[in-house]
Amino acid sequence: MESKWRPVQTEVDTVNYRGDSIHLSKVNALQHSETGQIVVSPQSLSQAEIEVIAQKYGLKNARGVAIFLILFATPSEGIIKGGDMLNKYHLQKSLFYLWKGLEDEGLYEIMPRDEFVGAENGPLPINLDDDLTDFEKQKLIAVTKKKYLEYPKPLKYIRLTEEGVRIAKELWIETPEDFHSKALWAKELIYPMTPQEVTAMVHKKYPEFIDSTKNDIE
């Protein structure tokens, strides 16, 4: 039986999490084919708001907001400063645990997210390389290679530039506290661990994300 509801996009005047009036366009919604009634979910409103915030700060894709929140989050202990990530591997897994943390709170769909596929050492965001390339071209991040533990080849080390830190601070202000707390939780969970320790943790809980044909440590 054909559904009477069809997907559409609409415009909505609403308020953000701080209570400020905002206008959102291209909000995903459902429209009843007979009555014309349009229904918008809270998740769609949240995702549309993040899209607007991302565009405001020149990010090509709203999933980049999560990358900036992870990079900017500052653990209370350890050597990592706000704006730094040990290496690309830690960033990959921190992003995965950010989504899982939001999912555990029932908030999985309120923020635009990347898709994850299995890799040798756990989940891999499929668009991360493209996103990092865009940010590097915009001079929002700097990527260098450094020796890491016993690995024979230097690994990619990612940090926010001065302009990247400025944007990350604004994104931190304009996004809900739930995003901040989960970004910090994910970073504090992942960054002290070696790839072997993270791999053991991820494989035990999420074996569906194991694919030995894809290398994810670089």
Distance (Å, whole) CA 51 – CA 108 = 16
E-assigned strand segments in 16-174: 21-32, 38-39, 84-85, 116-117, 124-125, 141-146, 155-160
One-character DSSP codes across 153-195 = SPEEEEEE-HHHHHHHHHHHHHS-HHHHHHHHHHHHHHTTS-H
Distance (Å, whole) CA 64 – CA 36 = 35
pLDDT digits (tens, 9 = 90+) for 123-165: 889 999 999 999 999 999 999 988 877 777 888 889 999 999 9
Task: Fill in the DSSP letter of residue 115.
Answer: -
Report helix, strand or coil for 86: coil
Distance (Å, whole) CA 139 – CA 47 = 26
- Reported as type and span, the H/E element at residue 15 is strand 5-15
pLDDT digits (tens, 9 = 90+) for 45-65: 989 999 999 999 999 889 999
Considering the entire predicted model, what is its pTM?
Answer: 0.88
Higher-confidence residue: 132 or 196? 132
